[in-house]
Amino acid sequence: MKPVIALVGRPNVGKSTLFNRLTRSRDALVADLPGLTRDRHYGEGRVGERPFLVIDTGGFEPVAKEGILHQMAKQTKQAVAEADVVVFLVDGRQGLTPHDKTITDFLRKSGRPVLLVVNKSEGMRYTSVVADFYELGMGEPAVISSAHGDGVHDLVELALDTA
């Protein structure tokens, strides 16, 4: 069985960009429109000799009771249930949002191993990128740039070691 990595985070943090980099495919739709990828989406990746599966998710909106946002939340929950490890992406440029805290609470309850990962960190100093996110209580964040690739290889190895 290949380990399963689920990419979770609020819309527009860069999940699909990371998914595409991990799978080297264009399967996940990346767009400047937040939240365009509305389905769970599976892909296969490999680092060295280690294959893995990765699930892109279409955002997370636990307060919605119906409609597309509710559907997205359900799919994200399903993806987390299937995951051996969750990569929880946040946006280092935007900083911490209330939405990130809601997702943190949900992930904690899920009991899955979670790696907190700050994306969009290119050109930024580590200390200033991560400062906001310690208060989530998820430990030392990893720092990546999905768009440029910085830190992505190390993140995958860490995720596979955690899975």
Residue 41: in which H helix or E strand, if any? strand 41-47
DSSP 5: E
Phi, psi of 140 (to 5 degrees): -70, 115
Span near ligand GDP by CB under 6 A; candidates 63-71, 72-80, 139-147, 152-160: 139-147
Is 43 a residue that touches ligand GDP (CB under 6 A)? no
- Give the closest residue to 39 by CA, choosing from 5, 73, 86, 66: 73
| 60 annotated as ligand-binding | yes
**Pick from ligand GDP, Mg ion, none: which does 139 bind, CB < 5 to 8 A by kind?**
none
Residues written for the chain: 163
Site for Mg ion in 34-53 (CB under 5 A): 37
Sole binder of ligand GDP in the list 5, 8, 13, 159 (CB under 6 A): 13
Burial of 81 (0-12, 13-18, 19+ CB in 10 A): exposed
Torsion of CA 104, 146, 74, 140, to 10 degrees: -20
- The verdict on 37 binding ligand GDP (CB under 6 A) reads yes
Structural tokens at position 90: 């946040």
Is 23 a binding residue for Mg ion by CB under 5 A? The answer is no
Pick the closer one to ligand GDP by CB: 82 or 122: 122
9 marked as binding residue: yes
According to the annotation, is 10 in a ligand binding site?
yes
DSSP 8-state class, residue 29: P
| Residue 112 binds which of ligand GDP, Mg ion, none (CB < 5-8 A, kind-dependent) | none
Provide the token pair at 34: 């937040």
Q: Which residues bind Mg ion (CB under 5 A)?
A: 15-16, 37
Q: Which residues bind ligand GDP (CB under 6 A)?
A: 9, 11-17, 30-32, 34-35, 37, 119-120, 122, 145-147
Q: Which residues are annotated as a binding site for GTP?
A: 9-16, 56-60, 119-122
Q: Which residues are annotated as a binding site?
A: 9-16, 56-60, 119-122
